[in-house]
Amino acid sequence: MIRWLFYLLALIVMTIVAWVVTPILPAFATPRMGPIDNNHGQAVEPRLPLWLAWFDTPDNSLLGDKNWKATHDGGYWSQVQWLYRNTLYGFKWGPLAAPMSELRIVAGDPAINRNNGHFGTMSITMGVFWQWKCVKPIGQTGYCWMLNFGWLLNDASQTRALFMFSPRCVTITAPPAGA
């Protein structure tokens, strides 16, 4: 828990820096081969130089993923918005990330999510790393609380676990289970 609190403090400081510098970051972008569409393909697209990797999205270019590209023009302000939407992903997947291992202990339903009708809580531990996630509907409003803290340990296909501090109120995108 001490490690997570220290990382959270580092993330808060870096987030303040990111809010200030993000509007100028796309000016440094250059076309380069790399992952696109959440690491489901490769293409030459605008990316930040390696010395700005903490501000970049390692699984997408500055043009965003497929859904982002469908609703944004890919221009300068679209790239700025993408970086704000995904603030410091390179930092969270880099120095703050946890190395994944198979030795994970899961409690609760790891399938909980706003887009599949599974609500509740779950926790995963992996040595000194942990994840706690809660997805609870807010009455009949069509919204839910989605709280995700620790490291993103529920995707065992990854080699590194993204550092998480993600409290949010979001739209429910699927009917409740059994409906």
pLDDT digits (tens, 9 = 90+) for 9-67: 999 999 999 999 999 999 999 999 999 998 899 999 999 999 999 999 999 999 999 99
Please indicate, yes or no, whether residues 124 and 155 belong to a single structural domain of this protein.
yes
The distance from CA 110 to its chain's CA centroid, rounded to whole angstroms, is 17
In a domain, 179, yes or no: no
Please indicate, yes or no, whether residues 12 and 84 belong to a single structural domain of this protein.
yes
Mean model confidence pLDDT for the chain: 91
Burial of 28 (0-12, 13-18, 19+ CB in 10 A): middle
| Residue with tokens 């989605």, as numbered in its chain | 146
φ/ψ of residue 9, rounded to 5: -60, -45
Please indicate, yes or no, whether residues 43 and 126 belong to a single structural domain of this protein.
no
Closest CA to 105 of 125, 119, 121: 125
What is the per-residue pLDDT for 176?
52
% of the chain beyond a pLDDT of 90: 76
Please indicate, yes or no, whether residues 13 and 73 belong to a single structural domain of this protein.
yes
Length of the chain: 179
**Other residues' Cβ atoms within 10 Å of the Cβ of residue 33:** 11
The answer, as to whether pTM is greater than 0.85, is: no
d(CA 62, CA 46): 6
Name the domain count of the chain.
2
Q: Rounded mean pLDDT of 154-160?
A: 83
What is the per-residue pLDDT for 179?
52
pLDDT at 177 over 60: no
d(CA 82, CA 64): 6
Please indicate, yes or no, whether residues 18 and 80 belong to a single structural domain of this protein.
yes
* C-beta pairs of 172-176 under 8 Å, 24+ apart in sequence: 172/114, 172/115, 172/137, 172/142, 172/143, 172/144, 173/114, 173/115, 174/114, 174/115, 174/116, 174/117, 175/117, 176/117, 176/119, 176/137
24: number of CA atoms within 13 Å, CB side?
Answer: 5
Q: Which residue has the higher pLDDT, 1 or 176?
A: 1
In a domain, 59, yes or no: yes
What is the span of the domain harbouring residue 53? Answer: 2-93
